[in-house]
């Protein structure tokens, strides 16, 4: 039996990116019960990809109750709905057979260091936010393409002088803005920018000198995306809500590395249940951004263990 429901988790504070602000995380939780065992998976419907909680619930409701992971890959497209069910099937398998997902895959899970995300605000408020998190080794700063972007990063650098910094433009820059901003951000210690140009409008990257490495986010969903990224991006951001689950995320990770891309493992704003399967892909990743639960006022019970910037592997009671 497959069940799915919408759940909401309030955030600690307003979270703002170039597309808008939010005060809660809306997720869909899939639960699969068979032969006395129950598995769970979580996804975050994302409006940027035309998803809503209602559309995701309808996709999950269309599946046969006996669907397996292999059939699922063709029954639903890459996206949030398939992610929730795929991860629930992995969890169900682990609990039904008494063997953890990592063991089934021959993986040894170790803690990973995650970035912590600062949302867009005034430079003064972003400096304060950076100062509150100055002990974290890696800060990810949301930017919007406006004239204050350099001031924002200068403020973050002032607030957290020892932290490494990466930035996420969320499709908000133009090629001219990249040329202007890249050397100024590099001077402030920025190491990488995510998705500076809109997906589908990033051809200019192929002929652009990229002193500030560029990571594909909205332009990279699954393995089918990779051919179009060659020569334009230096890194890909793997998110299970884009790949449609752990099954494709693992395959994309291997294919991206074989194609010469560096790998970042990221997340939407969700609970520890959404982060847990991503921990398997995060092993050995060049960058990890699995800070979703740190932005929540409430989380799952039991949650993932966060010790400062270090994320612990999930306990079986949570997932896997």
Annotated catalytic residues are 142, 239
Quick check: helix, strand or coil at residue 43? Answer: strand
Contact status, residue 109 vs residue 313, Cβ threshold 8 Å: yes
Q: Measured between alpha carbons, how far is residue 253 from residues 116, 217, 246, 263 in Å? A: 22, 14, 10, 7
Contact status, residue 86 vs residue 280, Cβ threshold 8 Å: no
Structure tokens at 33: 């019960």
What does the alpha-carbon distance between residue 166 and residue 150 come to, in Å, rounded to a whole number? Answer: 13
Q: Measured between alpha carbons, how far is residue 176 from residues 137, 173, 204 in Å? A: 30, 8, 10
306-307 and 2-17: which strand pairing?
Answer: unpaired
Q: Which residues of 130-145 are buried (b: 16+ CB within 10 A; e: fewer)?
A: beebeebebbbbbbbb
């Amino acid at each position: 039996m497959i069940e799915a429901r919408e759940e909401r988790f309030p955030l600690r504070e307003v979270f703002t990116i170039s597309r808008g602000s939010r005060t809660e995380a809306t997720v869909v939780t899939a639960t699969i019960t068979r032969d006395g065992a129950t598995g769970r998976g979580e996804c975050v419907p994302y409006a940027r990809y035309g998803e809503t909680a209602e559309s995701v619930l309808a996709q999950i409701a269309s599946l046969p109750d006996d669907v397996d992971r292999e059939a699922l890959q063709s029954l639903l497209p890459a996206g949030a709905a398939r992610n929730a069910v795929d991860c629930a099937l992995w969890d169900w398998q682990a609990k039904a057979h008494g063997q953890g997902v990592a063991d089934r895959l021959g993986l040894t899970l170790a803690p990973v260091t995650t970035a912590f995300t600062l949302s867009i605000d005034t430079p003064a408020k972003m400096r304060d936010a950076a100062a509150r998190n100055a002990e974290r080794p890696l800060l990810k700063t949301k930017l919007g393409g406006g004239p204050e972007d350099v001031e924002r990063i200068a403020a973050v650098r002032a607030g957290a002088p020892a932290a490494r910094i990466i930035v996420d433009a969320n499709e908000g820059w133009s090629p001219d803005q990249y040329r202007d901003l890249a050397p100024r951000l590099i001077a402030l210690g920025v190491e990488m920018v995510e998705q500076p140009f809109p997906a589908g409008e990033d051809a200019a990257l192929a002929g652009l000198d990229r002193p500030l490495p560029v990571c594909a986010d909205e332009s990279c969903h699954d393995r089918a995306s990779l051919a179009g990224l060659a020569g334009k991006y230096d890194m890909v951001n793997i998110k299970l809500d884009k790949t449609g689950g752990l099954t494709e995320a693992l395959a994309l990770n291997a294919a991206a590395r074989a194609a010469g891309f560096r790998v970042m493992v990221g997340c939407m704003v969700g609970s520890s249940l959404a982060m847990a399967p991503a921990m398997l892909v995060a092993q050995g990743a060049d960058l990890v951004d699995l800070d979703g639960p740190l932005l929540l006022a409430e989380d799952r019970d039991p949650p993932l263990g966060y010790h400062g910037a270090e994320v612990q592997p999930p306990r079986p009671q949570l997932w896997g």
